[in-house]
Amino acid sequence: QVRLVESGGGLVQAGGSLTLSCAGSASNFVINVMGWYRQFPGKEREFVATITRDGITKYEDSVKGRFTISRDVSKNTVYLRMSMLKPEDTAVYYCSADVVRDETVWGYYWGQGTQVTVSS
């Protein structure tokens, strides 16, 4: 089984900071790439950032320089530090992970989501 549990969402003023956490667990699999996506009302889920087990990161253009993704591989935990937040960052944020067994990616998983609201 695979489980991803997010925490850290909430209400913050524009220009402020917020850090999200996601604790992962997987039986009979190794958690591979982890990341964050977000979903605006009425729209499809969108990429935010990902990080590999050895620390290689990717970011969506609008969050570059403002958001930082990090990871504790030993704890299967990924973080998203969000700074200089804007009202347009308001969304439900989802933790993501893929799992590998015998050098093969076996599945892709999502957390339950956590609401981030930025007020002006």
- Please give the Cα distance from 32 to 43 (Å, whole number): 27
Please state, for a pLDDT cut of 70, what percent of the chain lies above it.
100
pLDDT in tens, 81-96: 999 999 999 999 999 9
pLDDT at 119: 97
Q: Residue 53 above 90 pLDDT?
A: yes
